[in-house]
Amino acid sequence: MDARHGEQRLIMRVLAQYRGLCRGSGMPRRAQINPALFGRDWAYCLLVDLDTHLEASRFAYIGDNLADPSWPAFERQTLGECGENTLLHAATAYLPRVLARRLPISRSGIGLHRETPILYRSILLPLSESGTVIDGLLGAVNFREIPVREEIHPLHPQAADVAQVSTAS
C-alpha cells in the first residue's frame, strides 16, 4: 500500500487500489488483483469465486487475519459453510446487494471472530473477467475487539448464557 496517501482506514485504502485497477473500464478482472499492491492489508482481504447459487460460491483466498479457526486447513470453503455470526459470514452476507447494484458496498456491524466479540467494517468489490458479468469479489474486513457485556453484545456465548439464566430465574 502506498503510504504517501496517508489513508488510515483499511477499507478506503483497498477501495483506492480497486479504483486504480478500474481505470474507467468498469470492474477490474481477477487477474489484476496482485497481493503486492495491497501490502500488509492483504492479510485482511478475501477473494470469492461466484457460483450461480451464492451459497456454493467459494473463497479463493482468505487473509491470515480473517481465517476461521473452526475450519480445517484452507480448502476453498463455500460461503454456505460460514458460521452465522462469524466475521466471514458478516463480511459476505450482503453479497446479493453488491451483485444487484454492481458497485462496491461497505458495511459495518457487530459479530464474533474466533469466539471474541468484535465491531467490524467490510467492503465487497465486484470483479469481472468479461467486463459485464460479475464472477468474483474482492473483499476487505477490519475489526476490533469490544468489551463483553450482555447489554452491548448479544452474540457472545457467555452473554447468551447469562441472559438465559436471568430469564429462567
Other CB atoms closer than 10 Å to residue 4's CB: what's the count?
6
Q: Whole-model pTM?
A: 0.81
Report pLDDT digits (tens) over 3-49: 435 557 899 999 999 999 987 778 999 999 999 999 999 999 999 99
Determine the structural domain holding residue 53 and report its residue range.
3-168
**Residue 111 has what pLDDT?**
83
pLDDT interval class at 72 (50, 70, 90): low
**Residue 83 has what pLDDT?**
78
Other CB atoms closer than 10 Å to residue 39's CB: what's the count?
13
Is-contact 150 157, C-beta < 8 A? Answer: no
Q: Does residue 158 have a pLDDT over 80?
A: no
Residues in the chain: 169
Higher pLDDT, 89 or 152: 89
Lowest-pLDDT choice from 80-84, 96-100, 127-131, 160-164:
160-164
**Residue 115 has what pLDDT?**
79
Grid cell 474466533 is found at: 114
CATH code of the domain in which 119 resides: 3.30.450.20
Grid cell 487477474 is found at: 31
Max distance between CA atoms of the chain, in angstroms, equals 62
Domains in the chain, number: 1
Q: Is the dihedral of CA 145, 91, 94, 3 positive or negative?
A: positive
Report pLDDT digits (tens) over 94-149: 999 999 999 999 999 988 887 788 899 999 999 999 888 999 999 999 999 887 66
Q: Does residue 165 have a pLDDT over 80?
A: no
Per-residue pLDDT, averaged over 85-89, amounts to: 85
